[in-house]
Amino acid sequence: MTTLNALLKKIETPHYSVYGALLSCFYLPFVFLKDKYQQDTVQNVLFKRDFKLSRLFQYSYLGHKFYACLGFKYYFFCYLVLLVSASYIVATQQQFGWLSSCALVLALCVNTVSLYCVFYKSNYNTLGMVLILPVFYLLSIQAYWFACILATIAIIASFSSGIFMLALIGLQVLTKDVYALISSLGIGCVLVWKIAPLLIGEEQKGHLSRILAIIGAVGESKYHRNKAVWSAQFYYWISLNLLFIITYLIHCSVVNYLVFTPLGVSLLNSKIRFADIQHFWMFAIGVYAGILIQDFNSWSLLLFLAIANLPPRFFGDNKFTEMSDCLPVLQVQDFAVFRAVEQFLKSVPENATVFHAHRDPQGMYNRIFQGQKEIVDVIFYAGMQHNVAVYPNYWAVLIDCKQGDLDYFYKDSAELFARLTTFNAEYMIISSVDREHLKDASFLNNRLAILDFKQVDFDACSAIKHRLNELELYKVAL
């Protein structure tokens, strides 16, 4: 009852999703740069050098634009697509009455995974992921031209969703009908348009190899990801998928081999990380929902409900247990944390360079930015809004990932001074915790501001507030 009252109170008053607002500061710079420069090449923003935005082929401008301009309306539209497509597909099946149809649609759309992925963990990829179910259905009934149209819309809105679509189409071609290749025409054209420029010229090829290195596909990267295959949660997820597949194979009248794709891509991602885990949850929901609608049995429904209703703590986000955080994201400029960061950077003049210091992650991808990535994104975007270059950002670390590439981290005060000199930084941001370990740094005597997140309004998300370190801004004497 207390949670319900809190939710009703927040609906009546201006409210934002803290996590959603933080996340938006990672995606908004891509749109901002595209709109500001009106060209492919940008200078001294993402890197201390020229950079072609087309190299970030994995990001969709259209998807980012919808995400940036529509905010919560975009999430609601995506959820509406999921709801309408599930309702239509269930309605086409003769074996369900109206009551059982409504119950099945609710089971497909009102579950912890759908709510978490669409409203809470959502980003510009959401539209592509909710189109998995209708594309699966169209492939199953061999409506390949319609599947081609939806799959093309999906990959334009979300590049990573195109990988999932190709997995479905590829298995359909291998096991059932070569004409399913028709469905991949649009995806193929988009892939050629996105990736072909990266295959021309040595510099472009080097960029593609760096992207492949950071996801673990080829070559060596300076940063290594923790493999999901060793986690208890991953075993739990794989076990549920296996149980669903086995139950389906026992009870089905005709085998639809597309049922194997969620398990296959999950195992592949444990070795070569090409998408976030929530994308695999949504992919599994879409495929298994289509399977369940076409070949319904009670045991498969029970397992589907277990897959679709993972416990909130399984997501690793205790704050999601408070569903009140799944509410609209306001404009970033109205976000209290963003305003606090702007105030923090107020003494930095336009066209200045700020270096955001972080300790060496010791080769571990998960230690990059010391667990402070959300606030790094906010500072980077706030600086960009005021023509202040803040280094490093996530894209810079992602691209300069090979041995011998430019390094952005430090182990001691001598290395930190070298980084400041490399970037010709006039200002520096460092956490108070790290500053305590640099008492011998004589170049850090002129402190301009302190940002204490405990004094910032994080609303319900105190977990984020207590995880962020206090920051200090210095005028650097090089």
| Residue 368: both structure tokens together | 């990059």
Cα–Cα dist 268/239, whole Å: 16
pLDDT at 178 over 50: yes
Other beta carbons within 10 Å of 225? 14
Query: Span 426-432, mean pLDDT?
Result: 88
Mean pLDDT (whole number) for 391-395: 84
Whether 245 has a pLDDT exceeding 90, the answer reads yes
Q: Which long-range contacts (CB under 8 A, 24 or more apart) does 313-318 make?
A: 314/233, 314/236, 315/116, 315/121, 316/233, 317/19, 317/120, 317/121, 318/463
pLDDT at 9 over 50: no
pLDDT confidence tier of residue 243, bands split at 50, 70 and 90: very high
For residue 42, list its beta bridge partners: 51
Cα-based distances in Å from 177 to 142, 182, 205 = 8, 10, 35
Structural domain spans, the chain: 1-56+335-478, 66-324
Give the span between the Cα atoms of 17 and 398, in whole angstroms: 27
pLDDT digits 0-9 by tens, 287-311: 998 888 888 888 888 999 888 888 7
Q: Up-side HSE of residue 66: CA atoms within 13 Å toward CB?
A: 20
**Other residues' Cβ atoms within 10 Å of the Cβ of residue 92:** 11
Over residues 10-39, the pLDDT tens digits come to: 444 444 566 667 777 777 787 788 777 776
Q: 424 or 22, which is more confident?
A: 424
Q: State the pLDDT at residue 334.
A: 58
Q: How far apart are the first and last CA of the chain?
A: 58
Q: What is the mean pLDDT of residues 423-452?
A: 83
Condensed to tens digits (0 to 9), the pLDDT of residues 179-207 reads: 888 888 888 888 888 777 777 665 665 66
Q: What pLDDT is stored for residue 19 in this prediction?
A: 66
At 90 the pLDDT is 87
The residue ranking higher by pLDDT, 175 or 345, is: 345
Q: What is the pLDDT of residue 202?
A: 58
Is pLDDT above 90 for 363?
A: no
What's this model's pTM, rounded to 2 decimal places?
0.80
pLDDT tens for 207-216 read 666 666 666 6
